[in-house]
Structures are given as C-alpha cells and as structure tokens.
C-alpha cells in the first residue's frame, strides 16, 4: 500500500511523545519522515503548521497518527484536508471514538478481537517469528491464546515476553497468569481508564465487579440511583471500547474486568471489607 504514495510517516505513541517532548517534536518527525534528506527544526507549533501545510499541499502521502487523545494532536498535525495532496490518506488511531467524530474523520473503524486462528498466528509471530508455534509449544500456545481472549495487545506483550523461553518456562508463566495479572498488559490497558472522569471510572469499576452480562436498562436504573448519570457514562465507556452492548446486555473483555477488579483491590489490599464495592450494593 505504501508504494502508492510519494511519502509516508508512522507517528507511534503520539499521546506519550507529546507529553514527553511536546507537539513541535511530532511536527518535526512528520516532516523528517516524508522528507528524509532534510533537517527540520522550529520552536513554534504555528511555524510547524505553516511548513506542513505548505510542503505537503501537493504531495500524495500516507500518514498514520497512533494513539491520539487530544484535539491539539489533530490541529498541529492534520487539521485540514487541504494540507495534503490529492489521494493522501491520514489514518488516526485513538481510544476515544468521540474525539475522532469531533475531529470530523471520514470513517470510523472499530477493531474487533481476533479469532483463535488469528490470535495463534499473532502470538506465534511474536514468540517464534513464524506463523505457527513450534511442535512442542502448541498446547501452551493455545493456553496463552485462551487467556488473552483475542486481545491483540495481550498477545503481543505475552508473545514478546515468552520469546526464546523453553516449554517449562511457558507452563510456569501460564500458571502465574492465573493468579498474578501481567503488569505490562494492565499498565497499558489502564491508560484508557485513567482518561475517564471520576463518575465514569466508578461506573466502569461497578460493571467490572457486579454488572457484566446484566441488562443495560436495569444497570442504568441502578447506577442512576447512585447519582452516576449512566445515560451519559455508559456511552462514554462504549466510545472508549471499555465495554460493549450486545442484545442490550453489557459486556466487558475478561482482561479489562480483571484490570478493574485489580484497581479496587489495590485501594485496600489487606482489608477486603473496606473495599467500597464489596459494601456498595449489599
């Protein structure tokens, strides 16, 4: 696909890069990737906008902006379509669907979990650098796939961690996952949770503890009775891909549920009776 374009750029982890190094660094990287023989340095976001819109206006480019979570990311990198030449493609990934719609993207694609075949292939690519597991690793690989529940993030993290380890180490790792959550997976999933308002966090944690699989109408009535305004909070969680609604029932990926329960446990690790969600609906 990239061969059809005059220039291409993948901006990974925009949220984190912007926090650490600023928006100007992202603009400089965008231009440096598309014009590899040139050196771009400027001090103002507005200077960057002027250069991007002027230099790329007649250039057919492919730009991927990964993990945008702030409207400023769009405004400094790709605010207007006419910044880029005819036939250009700008692909943006975000945890916040509403942000994409507010920006006015042409289409929103919601990724789904992988089926078992795709999940096994992704795990194998990370762990064995091939499309299928080694002969002695099929059974433990299937156990890891089951634990990940089709979540690409979990498969990539676990596959990278298990790469180069022997079968016994795989089995020990799988046994540990049953009692101890994998830290890197949870820390990366927690990014979506941390971006919520306090009311939305409480709704998410209550679903993780009590309401997974419940009827949406009933859950809304209960949460509204607690002052949470679920009519607003639930759509936010759906837009952030933290919950789904199927046949009017609320669902949550097992790893997200595990993350939510772990957040509650950490609040009172040695005194379960003091955890608010143990008492809340008693």
Q: Is residue 108 part of a domain?
A: no
Residues 86 and 8 in one domain: yes
Q: Is residue 14 part of a domain?
A: yes
Domain count for the chain: 3
Residues 221 and 249 in one domain: yes
Residue 267 belongs to what domain range?
Answer: 196-279
Q: Is residue 189 part of a domain?
A: no
Q: Is residue 268 part of a domain?
A: yes
Residues 212 and 171 in one domain: no
Residues 97 and 6 in one domain: yes
Last residue of a domain, one of 156, 180, 204: 180
Q: Which residues contact 37 (CB under 8 A, 6 or more apart)?
A: none
Last residue of a domain, one of 61, 78, 103: 103
Residues 96 and 12 in one domain: yes
pLDDT digits (tens, 9 = 90+) for 96-150: 888 888 888 888 888 788 999 999 999 999 999 999 998 889 999 999 999 888 8
pLDDT at 84: 96
Pair 222, 281: CB distance under 8 Å: yes
Residues 99 and 120 in one domain: no
Q: Is residue 242 part of a domain?
A: yes
**Six-digit token string for 116:** 């078992």
Residues 31 and 68 in one domain: yes
CATH number of the domain to which 254 belongs: 1.10.10
Q: Is residue 240 part of a domain?
A: yes
Q: Is residue 111 part of a domain?
A: no
pLDDT at 189: 81
Residues 6 and 96 in one domain: yes
What are the 10-residue block averages of pLDDT along the chain, 282 residues in total? Answer: 84 92 96 93 94 96 93 94 95 89 86 91 94 91 91 88 90 82 78 88 94 94 92 90 90 89 75 50 52
Alpha helices in the chain (DSSP H): 14-21, 23-34, 45-55, 71-77, 97-103, 116-127, 138-148, 152-162, 167-179, 183-194, 198-206, 216-225, 230-239, 254-267, 276-279
Nearest to 16 by CA among 188, 237, 153: 188
Last residue of a domain, one of 55, 76, 103: 103
Whether the full predicted model's pTM is greater than 0.85, yes or no, is no
Residues 67 and 120 in one domain: no
């Amino acid at each position: 696909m990239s061969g059809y374009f005059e220039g291409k750029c993948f901006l990974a982890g925009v949220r984190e890069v912007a926090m650490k190094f600023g928006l100007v660094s992202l603009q400089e990287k965008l231009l440096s990737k598309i014009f590899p023989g040139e050196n771009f340095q400027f001090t103002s976001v507005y200077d960057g906008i002027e250069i991007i819109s002027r230099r790329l206006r007649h250039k057919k480019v492919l730009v991927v902006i990964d993990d945008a979570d702030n409207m400023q990311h769009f405004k400094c990198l790709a605010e207007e379509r006419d910044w880029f030449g005819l036939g250009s493609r700008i692909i943006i990934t975000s945890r916040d669907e509403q942000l994409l719609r507010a920006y006015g993207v042409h289409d929103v694609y919601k990724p789904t979990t992988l089926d078992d075949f795709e999940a096994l292939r992704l795990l194998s690519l990370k762990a064995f650098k091939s499309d299928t597991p080694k002969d002695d690793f099929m059974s433990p690989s299937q156990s890891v796939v089951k634990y990940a529940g089709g979540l690409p993030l979990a498969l990539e993290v676990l596959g990278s961690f298990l790469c180069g380890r022997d079968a016994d180490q795989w089995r020990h790792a799988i046994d540990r996952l049953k009692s101890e959550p994998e830290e890197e997976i949870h820390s990366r999933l927690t990014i979506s949770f941390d971006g919520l308002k306090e009311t939305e966090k409480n709704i998410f944690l209550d679903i993780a503890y009590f309401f997974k699989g419940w009827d949406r109408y009933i859950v809304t009535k209960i949460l509204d009775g607690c002052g949470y305004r679920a009519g607003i909070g639930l759509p936010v969680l759906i837009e952030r891909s933290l919950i789904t609604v199927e046949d009017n029932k609320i669902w949550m990926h097992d790893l997200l549920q595990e993350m939510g329960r772990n957040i509650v446990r950490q609040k009172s690790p040695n005194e379960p009776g003091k955890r608010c969600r143990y008492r809340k609906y008693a």
